């Protein structure tokens, strides 16, 4: 029961015999059993129906509402719906074959129950439906359960009805879609009041950066420590004993605010995507069996600032997850269930001078939760800022800034719509003075207006024109010029209030299906974001917001979609300041309900008129709050909730309020309804993007609101998406899903300070907490939860960059400046020449290129390109001046040009040392070069190699075919990987040939198989080199890799490689990875994804070295196309562990792959898989060569020992077991026998 709900109906119904009428409620009485139909207060889908006495079941359990939707009018058929739980009686004739409850659906014939008169005089009826030509009657069954019966004569099929009152009024506010705010103030644009303009300007830090907490404002933070009572279940929750004025809360728990309860150990976070933790029966909350609802009762004291005296005092919540009742000093203030919208209450008449207390009771799951079905960790509590502020009693309620901007002429005519409130309705007037400052702080316009109230007037609106302003500086992401509007309220000559709002002049237009900002066609190069932090959960802090946004700027990201709820106003201010386009999305997603009602608008929330006010409020609260932010260029109505009628209505309401911005809603595109100005889609393949960006029947801008699903090792073929978008007829861009992994720590680990294990953050994922969950689908970030730079972000940065390069001739390059407002003189061009991966020359060149123009640049390097060497020229545009988001010299734009290719073949081996000793048996062959002992076996290939007694690779772990790779992104959503890991190898034959001078020999393996037959040809040289020519002939499709794997000693930790780097790259994700000679370690090659998986691949390997700290190791050079990876885990081990911190510890071998090709990463976890051109081939033969050289084991002159390659080698030891190469006279051990020389 709500604190202010109507009391329950509990009067015994005396008379049965009424004929049901549509829209009325009845108790349904079974004649034979003399019991009424009840659901035992379980309205969940699939819940059975029972019979019980009227007195022994609650009104909510036995009250049934008869409805006759349009498709049933004119018949005797009705939907019989639980009045309390809104679930319909369903005969389930195509499934369970017994009556149960299910979400009401007028088109479901199992719910179309016909009332058949049996005895009209006594009001006796039967209830039946028809299935496959047979009538089934509702009937009493065994164990007081209702059943179906085909026998119309059965006594248990007779029912009578008694009209009873509706029980809907008994449901609480948090289970009533029509009640979502009580006593809330109207939504308005963000502002923070100061007493005077002087005090406003004196707060210099916040005046410049309005996301900072103020100094000197009429503001008081209520963040900090609150007292807390928490309980599972919603029954018997605290009342006046917690919110009363004189309650002593000192013995309660304490909790910091803002925070999420679950991150503090109160309840469990749940990762929910396309489910609810309760039955889909809106607006009712019937929890699933493994999840409980909960109640958090907060309380704290505060001292009202003295300067708030005689002012209007407002209580402000930036956001609260859950349904919340609020009291101050024991008096009820109001109610809200707006998770990510502002809730404000006028508490002037509740506060007092001196000591005060505030209490808030929060119910975790409510009818609002039906609208909050986003793909995220679900938590609750006061997760955003809470504070008080004070205004004059007559006050500015809202200020909305508009401007007629002529971008080409650099003129603007700003208007400010002022809404002033006069709650006392007393006659009087106030003056509003507006002052506009340009980005340098100089005044460019001022205007005043007097607003007059007659007696009885409570609201007045006045639009103040600031006149035309010339020479304006436009706002855009590359030049986020912000003006400052100072709004001052005066009563006569006395200034009562002042506040400031940042504003950017920019024009928006859709023209011929293309999107223009400031007259320039604009592409949105974006990401989706979530409020997430591994310790704070959804209570993201300012430092993390700033980290995210500055990283995005460094990666050339220009757009943020606030998926799927508005961000805090302070983050919007940051995005204005740093320069981002924002697709501002309402806190509205009914994913589960949409799935359950895909073609049923009458059953879907988005099609029910009773839900429209709450849905519209969520959208308009966002629009009104964020109206003045220049970064907000598109309003988004929500996400994945169908395109039914409520969205069409809301689209019209938003358009009427703000015609300057386009409206986005993917659900309307999906359902082909009129709720969007943008053709919005998700997870389409490149061909589809190319088709619809080129032509869609609505001629709307084409926007991938979600694409390139960045789950684990991912973000393949990003370039191909943008090749399809740029220059297309309607392409607008897209937002990658999503920015950052939503990994969190368990609350117990946070408390115990055990947030690391085995060297990794002890993150948890969806499968670690109660369901329903979608496993690790919560972690889809371009970057990990620790916000470290990633290989994926390197690719995004390169593909999203704003300058294109094209080589026009020797040392001559054309640069195309795609920045709409930025001259390239903001950068210097830094260049370097690399010879075989190492820098040999550097320099810088000045630039000057107007926005959207091209320029030619000659790079004045002087390096002579010597034969037999590879050369690259690498260019970078480095910012000249430091900014809030990067240091001077930061490389924002890059380009690589191969000046001269490496030789096609490895150089011939100079092999002038003494002959090898060779021993061959039927099973193996051993080559001894003095320092090196190399053994091949008939069936096992290269079995071992020791250099001065040190294993070059692990015995029996030499090169073998390897085609398995575990990448989470290859698992389709909701499915598990089913790739066959077996190599499919069958017959293996070998051929040996020793050159007559014994300076080299070849061992050739021809290996058959049903997946990828191969030929390995080893050439062993007497000086210690070993060449391996590998030829692969795949015969099946969808191989993950074509190549070989081998294992090296764990001590070979040091890694040097000349390849693409420094971070991992793949055949379809390598544009941002340039060639170079890189130093690393094997341990550093394992990228710490939320779930362990294959990583560390490097395309274009020229050579690598693996070594221990003493210099022992191996160098591997390549000929042909080779990629490599070196990790301490094989893919099977990575797949077998759900967390990085589960991985085995201790000394781990080095697992190295040398691949001709790996399958591209694609986007298969949600959306299109790998492009055909990046799939491994399924026919043909593909060859490369590897040259292995021990770092300490090249021979320089061992003594010759000639031998017959077809006979076993003679091995001589002295009597102490020491090997002897030149035996003098004496006793020796020869091939195991004592011999006299």
pLDDT at 1216: 41
What's the whole-number average pLDDT of the chain? Answer: 92
Closest CA to 1072 of 553, 835, 557, 718: 718
What CA–CA distance (Å, rounded) separates 1038 from 865?
41
pLDDT digits (tens, 9 = 90+) for 788-820: 999 999 999 999 999 999 999 999 999 999 999
Domain end marker among 792, 819, 848: 792
What CA–CA distance (Å, rounded) separates 1129 from 203?
55
Q: Judge if 363 and 441 occupy the same domain.
A: no
pLDDT at 1201: 26
Bridge partners (DSSP) of residue 1029 are: 1017, 1185
516 band by pLDDT with thresholds 50, 70 and 90? very high
Domain limits for position 489: 395-503
What residues have CB less than 8 Å from 143, skipping those under 6 apart? none
What CA–CA distance (Å, rounded) separates 533 from 750?
13
Q: Judge if 666 and 535 occupy the same domain.
A: yes
906 is a domain residue: no
What CA–CA distance (Å, rounded) separates 471 from 467?
13
pLDDT digits (tens, 9 = 90+) for 653-711: 999 999 999 999 999 999 999 999 999 999 999 999 999 999 999 999 999 999 999 99
Cut 0.75: pTM above it: yes
pLDDT digits (tens, 9 = 90+) for 108-124: 999 999 999 988 678 89
8 band by pLDDT with thresholds 50, 70 and 90? very low
pLDDT at 213: 97
pLDDT at 974: 60
17 is a domain residue: no
Q: What is the mean predicted confidence (pLDDT) over 174-188?
A: 96
SS3 content of the chain, % helix, strand, coil (to 5): 15, 40, 45
Domain end marker among 750, 765, 792: 792
> Around Cβ 921, how many Cβ atoms within 10 Å?
11
How many structural domains are present in the chain?
7
For residue 472, what is the DSSP state?
P
Q: What is the mean predicted confidence (pLDDT) over 930-940?
A: 92
Bridge partners (DSSP) of residue 125 are: 117, 159
Q: Judge if 312 and 243 occupy the same domain.
A: yes
**CB 426 within 8 Å of CB 456:** no
| CATH code for the domain in which residue 94 is found | 2.80.10.50
pLDDT at 949: 87
Task: Give the residue carrying structure tokens 């003679």.
Answer: 1210
For every residue of 810-853, which 3-state class applies, written as one string?
CCEEEEEECCCCCCHHHEEEEEEEEECCEEEEEEEEECCCCCCC
> Above 60 in pLDDT, residue 2?
no
Half-sphere exposure (CA, 13 Å, Cβ side) for 336? 29
pLDDT at 745: 98
1126 is a domain residue: yes
Please give the radius of gyration of the chain, using alpha carbons only, rounded to the nearest integer: 37
Q: Judge if 580 and 549 occupy the same domain.
A: yes
> Above 60 in pLDDT, residue 189?
yes
355 is a domain residue: yes
573 is a domain residue: yes
Q: Judge if 829 and 965 occupy the same domain.
A: no
Bridge partners (DSSP) of residue 303 are: 355
Q: Judge if 974 and 1018 occupy the same domain.
A: yes
pLDDT at 205: 97
What CA–CA distance (Å, rounded) separates 1214 from 1234?
9
Higher per-residue pLDDT: 12 or 1166: 1166
> Above 50 in pLDDT, residue 9?
no
Q: Judge if 843 and 874 occupy the same domain.
A: yes
Please provide the size of the chain in residues: 1237
What percent of the chain has pLDDT above 90?
Answer: 84
β-pair type (524-528, 559-561): parallel
Closest CA to 1088 of 763, 774, 776, 765: 763
Least confident of 192-201, 412-421, 741-750, 908-917: 908-917
Least confident of 382-391, 602-611, 1063-1072: 602-611
> Is residue 857 packed enough to be buried (19+ CB in 10 Å), middle (13-18) or exposed (0-12)?
buried
Domain end marker among 792, 819, 839: 792
Q: Judge if 383 and 407 occupy the same domain.
A: no
> Above 70 in pLDDT, residue 1236?
no
Cis before 243 (ω within 30): no
Q: Judge if 826 and 689 occupy the same domain.
A: no
8 is a domain residue: no
> Is residue 1094 packed enough to be buried (19+ CB in 10 Å), middle (13-18) or exposed (0-12)?
buried
| CATH code for the domain in which residue 540 is found | 3.20.20.80
439 is a domain residue: yes
For residue 767, what is the DSSP state?
G
> Above 50 in pLDDT, residue 623?
yes
Q: Judge if 810 and 943 occupy the same domain.
A: no
Write the DSSP assignment of 591-610 as a string of letters. HHHHHHTTT-TTTSGGG-GG
What CA–CA distance (Å, rounded) separates 981 from 1033?
18
pLDDT at 1217: 41
pLDDT digits (tens, 9 = 90+) for 888-919: 999 999 999 999 999 999 999 987 777 889 99
What residues have CB less than 8 Å from 16, skipping those under 6 apart? 27, 29, 123, 160, 161, 162
What percent of the chain has pLDDT above 70?
Answer: 95
pLDDT at 975: 66
- Coil vs helix vs strand at 980: coil
What CA–CA distance (Å, rounded) separates 1071 from 1214?
60
Token pair belonging to 342: 């502002």
Listed in sequence order, the DSSP H helices in 933-1076 are none
Q: Judge if 430 and 312 occupy the same domain.
A: no
What CA–CA distance (Å, rounded) separates 18 from 26?
9
971 band by pLDDT with thresholds 50, 70 and 90? confident
pLDDT at 1199: 30
pLDDT digits (tens, 9 = 90+) for 1190-1228: 998 666 533 322 223 333 344 454 444 444 555 554 544
Closest CA to 1030 of 949, 959, 933, 939: 959
- Coil vs helix vs strand at 294: strand
426 is a domain residue: yes
Q: Judge if 740 and 828 occupy the same domain.
A: no
- CA 1167 to the chain's CA centroid: 14
Write the DSSP assignment of 1076-1127 as a string of letters. EEEEEETGGGS---SS------BSS--EEEEE-TTS-EEEEEEESS-EEEEE
> Above 60 in pLDDT, residue 615?
yes
784 membership: H or E segment, kind and range = none
Q: What is the mean predicted confidence (pLDDT) over 1143-1149?
A: 92
Listed in sequence order, the DSSP H helices in 483-641 are 542-554, 569-578, 591-596, 612-626
């Amino acid at each position: 029961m709500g604190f202010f709900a109507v009391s329950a109906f509990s009067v015994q119904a005396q008379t049965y015999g009424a004929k049901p009428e549509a829209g009325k409620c009845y108790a349904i009485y079974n004649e034979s059993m003399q019991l009424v139909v009840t659901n035992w207060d379980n309205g969940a889908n699939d819940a059975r129906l029972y019979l019980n006495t009227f007195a022994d079941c609650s009104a909510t359990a036995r009250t049934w509402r008869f409805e006759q939707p349009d498709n049933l009018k004119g018949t005797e058929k009705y939907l019989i719906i639980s009045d309390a739980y809104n679930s319909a009686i369903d005969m389930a004739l195509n499934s369970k074959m017994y009556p149960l409850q299910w979400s009401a659906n007028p088109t479901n014939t199992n719910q179309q129950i016909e009332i058949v008169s049996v005895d009209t005089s006594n009001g006796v009826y039967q209830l039946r439906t028809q299935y496959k030509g047979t009538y089934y009657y509702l009937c009493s069954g065994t164990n007081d359960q209702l059943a179906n019966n085909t026998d119309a004569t059965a006594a248990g099929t007779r029912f009578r009805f008694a009209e009873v009152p509706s029980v809907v009024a008994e449901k609480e506010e948090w289970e009533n879609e029509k009640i979502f705010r009580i006593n809330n103030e109207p939504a308005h644009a963000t502002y923070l009041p100061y007493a005077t303009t002087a005090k406003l300007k004196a707060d210099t830090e916040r005046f410049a950066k309005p996301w900072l907490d103020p100094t000197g404002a009429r503001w008081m933070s209520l963040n900090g420590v609150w007292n807390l009572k928490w309980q599972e279940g919603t029954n018997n929750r605290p009342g006046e004993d917690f919110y009363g004025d004189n309650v002593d809360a000192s013995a309660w728990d304490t909790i910091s605010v803002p925070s999420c309860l679950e991150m503090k150990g109160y309840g469990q976070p749940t990762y929910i995507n396309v489910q609810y933790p309760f039955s889909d029966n809106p607006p009712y909350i019937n929890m699933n069996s493994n999840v409980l609802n909960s109640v958090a009762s907060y309380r704290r004291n505060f001292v009202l600032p003295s300067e708030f005296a005689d002012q209007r005092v407002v209580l402000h919540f930036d956001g609260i997850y859950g349904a919340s009742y609020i009291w101050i000093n024991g008096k009820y203030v109001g109610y809200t269930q707006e998770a990510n919208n502002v809730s404000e209450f006028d508490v002037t008449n509740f506060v007092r001078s001196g000591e005060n207390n505030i209490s808030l009771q929060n119910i975790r799951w409510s009818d609002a939760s039906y609208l909050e079905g986003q793909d995220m960790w679900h938590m609750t509590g006061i997760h955003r800022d809470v504070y008080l502020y004070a205004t004059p009693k007559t006050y500015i309620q809202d200020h909305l800034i508009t401007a007629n901007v002529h971008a080409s002429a650099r003129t603007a005519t700003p208007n400010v719509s002022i809404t002033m409130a006069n709650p006392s309705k007393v006659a009087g007037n106030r003056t509003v003075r507006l002052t506009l400052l340009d980005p340098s702080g100089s005044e460019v316009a001022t205007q005043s207006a007097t607003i007059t109230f007659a007696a009885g007037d409570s609201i007045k609106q006045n639009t103040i024109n600031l006149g035309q302003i010339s020479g304006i500086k436009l706002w855009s992401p590359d030049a986020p010029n912000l003006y400052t509007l100072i709004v001052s309220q005066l009563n006569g000559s006395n200034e009562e209030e002042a506040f400031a709002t940042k504003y950017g002049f920019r024009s928006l237009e859709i023209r011929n299906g293309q999107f223009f900002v400031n007259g320039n066609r604009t592409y949105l190069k974006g990401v989706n974001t979530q409020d997430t932090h591994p310790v704070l959960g959804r209570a993201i802090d300012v430092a993390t917001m700033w980290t995210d946004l500055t990283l995005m700027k460094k990666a050339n990201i220009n757009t943020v979609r606030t998926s799927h709820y508005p961000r805090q106003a302070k983050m919007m201010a940051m995005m204005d300041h740093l320069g981002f386009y924002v697709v501002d999305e309402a806190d509205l997603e009914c994913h589960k309900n949409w799935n359950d009602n895909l073609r049923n608008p009458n059953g879907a929330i988005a099609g029910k008129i009773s839900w429209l006010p709450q849905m519209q409020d969520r959208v308009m609260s966002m629009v009104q709050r964020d109206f003045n932010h220049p970064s907000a260029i598109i309003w988004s109505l929500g996400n994945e909730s169908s395109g039914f009628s409520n969205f069409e209505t809301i689209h019209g309401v938003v358009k009427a309020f703000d015609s300057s911005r386009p409206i986005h809603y993917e659900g309307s595109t999906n359902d082909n309804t009129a709720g969007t100005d943008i053709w919005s889609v998700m997870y389409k393949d490149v061909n589809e993007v190319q088709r619809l960006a080129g032509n869609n029947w609505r001629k709307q801008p084409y926007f991938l609101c979600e694409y390139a699903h960045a789950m684990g090792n991912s973000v393949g073929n990003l370039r191909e998406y943008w090749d399809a978008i740029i220059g297309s007829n309607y392409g607008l861009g897209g937002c990658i899903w999503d920015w950052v992994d939503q990994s969190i720590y368990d609350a117990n680990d946070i408390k115990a300070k055990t947030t690391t294990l085995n060297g990794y953050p002890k993150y948890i994922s969806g499968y670690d907490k109660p369901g329903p969950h979608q496993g690790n689908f919560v972690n889809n970030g371009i970057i990990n939860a620790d916000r470290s730079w990633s290989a994926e972000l390197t690719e995004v940065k390169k593909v999203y960059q704003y300058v294109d390069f094209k080589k026009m001739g020797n040392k001559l390059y054309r640069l195309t400046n795609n920045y709409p407002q930025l001259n390239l003189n903001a950068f210097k061009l830094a260049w370097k020449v690399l010879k075989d991966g190492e820098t040999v020359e550097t320099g810088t060149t000045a630039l000057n290129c107007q926005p959207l123009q091209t320029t030619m640049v000659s790079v004045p390097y002087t390096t002579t390109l010597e034969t037999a060497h590879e050369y690259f020229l690498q260019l970078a545009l480095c910012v000249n001046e430091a900014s809030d988001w990067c240091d001077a010299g930061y490389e924002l734009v890059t380009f690589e040009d191969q000046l001269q290719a490496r030789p096609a073949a490895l150089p011939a081996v100079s092999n002038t040392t003494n002959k090898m000793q060779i021993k061959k048996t039927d099973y193996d062959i051993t080559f001894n070069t003095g320092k090196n002992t190399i053994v091949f076996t008939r069936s096992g290939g290269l079995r071992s190699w020791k250099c001065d007694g040190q294993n070059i690779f692990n015995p029996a772990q030499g090169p073998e075919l390897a085609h398995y790779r575990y990448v989470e992104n290859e698992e389709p959503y909701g499915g598990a990987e089913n790739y066959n890991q077996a190599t499919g190898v069958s017959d293996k034959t070998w051929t040996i040939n020793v050159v007559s001078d014994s300076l080299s020999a070849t061992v050739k393996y021809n290996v058959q198989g049903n997946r990828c037959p191969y030929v390995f040809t080893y050439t062993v040289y007497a000086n210690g080199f070993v060449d391996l020519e590998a030829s692969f002939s795949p015969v099946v499709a969808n191989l993950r890799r074509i190549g070989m794997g081998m294992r090296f000693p764990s001590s070979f930790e040091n890694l040097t490689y000349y390849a693409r780097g420094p971070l991992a790259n793949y055949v379809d994700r390598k544009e941002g990875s340039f060639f170079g000679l890189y130093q690393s370690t094997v341990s550093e090659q394992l990228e710490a994804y939320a779930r362990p998986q294959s990583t560390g691949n490097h395309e274009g390997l020229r050579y690598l070295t693996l070594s221990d700290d003493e210099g022992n190791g191996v160098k591997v050079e390549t000929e042909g196309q080779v990629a490599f990876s070196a990790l301490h885990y094989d893919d099977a081990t990575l797949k077998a562990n759900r967390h990085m911190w589960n991985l085995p510890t201790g000394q781990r071998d080095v697992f190295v792959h040398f691949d001709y090709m790996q399958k591209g990463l694609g986007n298969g976890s949600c959306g299109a898989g790998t492009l055909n051109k990046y799939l491994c081939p399924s026919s043909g033969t593909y060859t490369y060569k590897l040259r292995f050289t021990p770092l300490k084991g090249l021979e320089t002159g061992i003594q010759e020992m000639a031998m017959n390659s077809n006979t076993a080698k003679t091995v001589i030891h002295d009597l102490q077991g020491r090997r002897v190469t030149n035996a003098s006279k004496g006793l020796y051990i020869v091939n195991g026998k004592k011999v006299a020389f």
